[in-house]
Amino acid sequence: DQQVKQNSPSLSVQEGRISILNCDYTNSMFDYFLWYKKYPAEGPTFLISISSIKDKNEDGRFTVFLNKSAKHLSLHIVPSQPGDSAVYFCAACLSGAGSYQLTFGKGTKLSVIP
């Protein structure tokens, strides 16, 4: 049972335009969500996160939106740059003490075309 779903395996966007990456989850107990970015031959790096008490979190060109009723979150990158080309993983967890595990989606490969 896949609890975190990224239904688009790949996405191509023109440089300067907006990239929107989507993620759905099924476990209503998840209360903290994260996005990781991964370049080939490197480990994933943390990008941005959001708590379930918020519906938006912004960090520079990156904004994450959370719609709890729809169990959906999205990552917006504006403007997109060629260096943003990578695989993006959505992850979710329970934020209370003793929660060690992140559940990851399968990833979306973003290609930003110059």
Write out the residues near other proteins by the rule CB under 8 A: 6, 9, 32, 34, 36, 38, 41-46, 49, 51, 89, 93, 95-97, 99-102, 104-107
- The smaller minimum CB distance to other proteins, of residues 7 and 14, is found at 7
- Measured at the alpha carbon of residue 25, what is the angle toward residues 97 and 64, in degrees to the nearest 5? 80
CA distances from 93 to 9, 35, 87, 105 (A): 22, 12, 20, 12
- The smaller minimum CB distance to other proteins, of residues 15 and 72, is found at 72
- Asked if 100 and 54 count as a contact pair (C-beta separation under 8 A), the reply is no
- The smaller minimum CB distance to other proteins, of residues 101 and 114, is found at 101
